[in-house]
Amino acid sequence: MLIASELKNLLEPSELAGLDITWLAAAEPTPKGDYAAIVPLLSRWVGGTELKNLPNLRIVANVAVGYNNVDVVAAEMRGVMVTNTPGVLTDATADLTWALILATARRLVEGVDLVRSGTWTGWHPEQLLGLELRGHTLGLLGAGRIGQAVGRRAPAFGLRILYTARSAKPDFERDAGATRVDLSRLLRESDIVSLHVPASPETKGIINAETLARMKPGAMLINTARGDLVREEALAHALESGHLGAAGLDVYTDEPAIHPRLLAAPRTVLVPHIGSATEETRRRMATIAIANVQSVLGGKPPLTPVYG
Ligand code: NAP
């Protein structure tokens, strides 16, 4: 089997017992061969060509909850299982979302830059004024595991919560005081819009020039889901023009490249796709991926399949 070599330190030898492993570095292309399993990072595309080159493949065990790097339809047609790592990264990603909300609302990076530059002249009543969270509205675009975990942390900050999802979430509404609305109302009423839907053909570019224009003047956009959801040039324009107040981003369309206009845009907090980056979570993600492989190669059903 093929395993991303970057996972080596996160796995115990006992988890790998009985597996014939070829470690595959992120920079290496996916080889051809009679491998039965592949455990890729989300940066590796596994599509029709890769599946054709791996004719004996039985499972793609993705080390992420998102699986937009895998052509799931092509895999299903070939009878190849696809698994992901849901649940174990929910809290870590929700926490990072809050780190971005707070850093963006309170202009943390600008403050750090000012202190480090040596040009801070002292307390000033109008210096780096940010958004007071209490009394404002957080709009969650997507309220699955991570969206809800973000929302459940919001009442402590005094935020009103709106959300969109394909189905209603009565428990979430009761526990967090959240209200389900359509996308138009979410965009119109939210002071902070946070993205928590998967990247798919339906959601690609959902934040574009037209939807950005429908956001409240001065509102903030937070994205810890996937870069494909956002048209980065349009976002840069909305920040440059001042229509959007700020953006906090963990994910980008063409990682690790970041659109140059977005890099140069004002009022951004940009971090390098670290949503799930805690020691515990990354170990659990690697462990689930390998457990899926062990299960399927052992003739049992996968633990966390993405289809079927
Ligand atoms: P999830 O539990 O499957 O939740 C997805 C949510 O999106 C659900 O509310 C779902 O609605 C909604 N949704 C799905 N397709 C939609 C569509 N076409 N239109 C509108 N809403 C749609 O997923 P999750 O575990 O919360 O993860 C969400 C995403 O976060 C992942 O797909 C991944 O891309 C991203 N992620 C990023 C990081 C990071 O490192 N930054 C880490 C983990 C995850 P229903 O509930 O009604 O089905």
DSSP-H helix ranges across 23-81: 48-53, 72-77
Among protein residues, the one with the nearest Cα to ligand 1's atom 2 is 144
Asked if residues 79 and 108 have their Cβ atoms less than 8 Å apart, the reply is: no
Among protein residues, the one with the nearest Cα to ligand 1's atom 3 is 144
CA 78 to ligand 1 center in whole angstroms: 26
Q: Is 279 a catalytic residue?
A: no
**Sheet containing strand 246-249, strands side by side:** 178-180, 160-164, 137-141, 192-195, 220-223, 246-249, 268-270
Residue from 261, 270, 248 nearest 193 by CA: 248
Q: Is the preceding peptide bond at 170 cis, omega within 30 degrees of 0? A: no
Q: Is 126 a catalytic residue?
A: no
Among protein residues, the one with the nearest Cα to ligand 1's atom 13 is 197
Q: How many CA atoms lie within 13 A of 308 on its CB side?
A: 15
Quick one: pLDDT at residue 220?
Answer: 98
Quick one: pLDDT at residue 190?
Answer: 99
Catalytic member of 153, 180, 226, 282: 226
End-to-end CA separation in angstroms for the chain: 23
The three-point CA angle 36-38-42 to 5° equals: 160
Q: At 61, is the secondary structure helix, strand, or coil?
A: strand
CA 293 to ligand 1 center in whole angstroms: 24
Distance CA 173, CA 243 (A): 30
Quick one: pLDDT at residue 308?
Answer: 79
Quick one: pLDDT at residue 138?
Answer: 98
CA 34 to ligand 1 center in whole angstroms: 33
DSSP-H helix ranges across the chain: 48-53, 72-77, 90-105, 108-117, 145-152, 170-176, 183-189, 209-214, 232-241, 260-264, 279-297
Q: Is 255 a catalytic residue?
A: yes
Q: Output the tens digit of pLDDT for each of the chain's 308 residues.
A: 999 999 999 999 999 999 999 999 999 999 999 999 999 999 999 999 999 999 999 999 999 999 999 999 999 999 999 999 999 999 999 999 999 999 999 999 999 999 999 999 999 999 999 999 999 999 999 999 999 999 999 999 999 999 999 999 999 999 999 999 999 999 999 999 999 999 999 999 999 999 999 999 999 999 999 999 999 999 999 999 999 999 999 999 999 999 999 999 999 999 999 999 999 999 999 999 999 999 999 999 999 999 97
